[in-house]
Amino acid sequence: MKVPTDLQILSEIYSSYYDEFRSYKEESRRNKIHVPIDVEKIANKLGVDEDIVFGRLYYHLNQKYGYKQDNGVRVDFFLLGLGNERHCVQFPLMASVLADLKKENRKFKIATTIAIISLIISLISLSISIMRG
């Protein structure tokens, strides 16, 4: 079984909860930027146990992307709870992280494609020089 990447997890959360983030109304949840997510639903869509997704969000991504502001206030990427809401992502921060992961993934794919094309051209050139030689 494949372990989902951070990119896959965050893409699934983004696509599943963007409309909820956008359609914020004060009576719908505590604040706009913290969106409660159903970790089990995300895990099921990715085909893994929910503790894998929870662990990545809480232990890995929160540690990696959460930060302290100059005034000492902590900005968490993922909160266990906020008021009566459970498992909340800081949606704008998550969207920024997702954009960076997508950008890095594109760079990797472009570099890999260029390397493969270069290898093919080199092999063709080598084949031609062997045939002529």
Report if pTM > 0.85: no
Instruction: Tell me which DSSP letter residue 38 carries.
Output: -
What is the model's pLDDT at position 1?
Answer: 67
Note the pLDDT tens digit of each residue in 19-35. 999 988 877 777 899 99
Q: Tally Cβ neighbours within 10 Å of residue 9.
A: 26
Interior angle at CA 21, CA 88 and CA 15, nearest 5: 90
The mean-pLDDT minimum among 19-28, 82-91, 123-132 falls in 19-28
Note the pLDDT tens digit of each residue in 45-79. 999 999 999 999 999 999 999 999 999 999 999 99
Domains of the chain: 6-105 (1.10.10)
What is the model's pLDDT at position 113?
Answer: 95
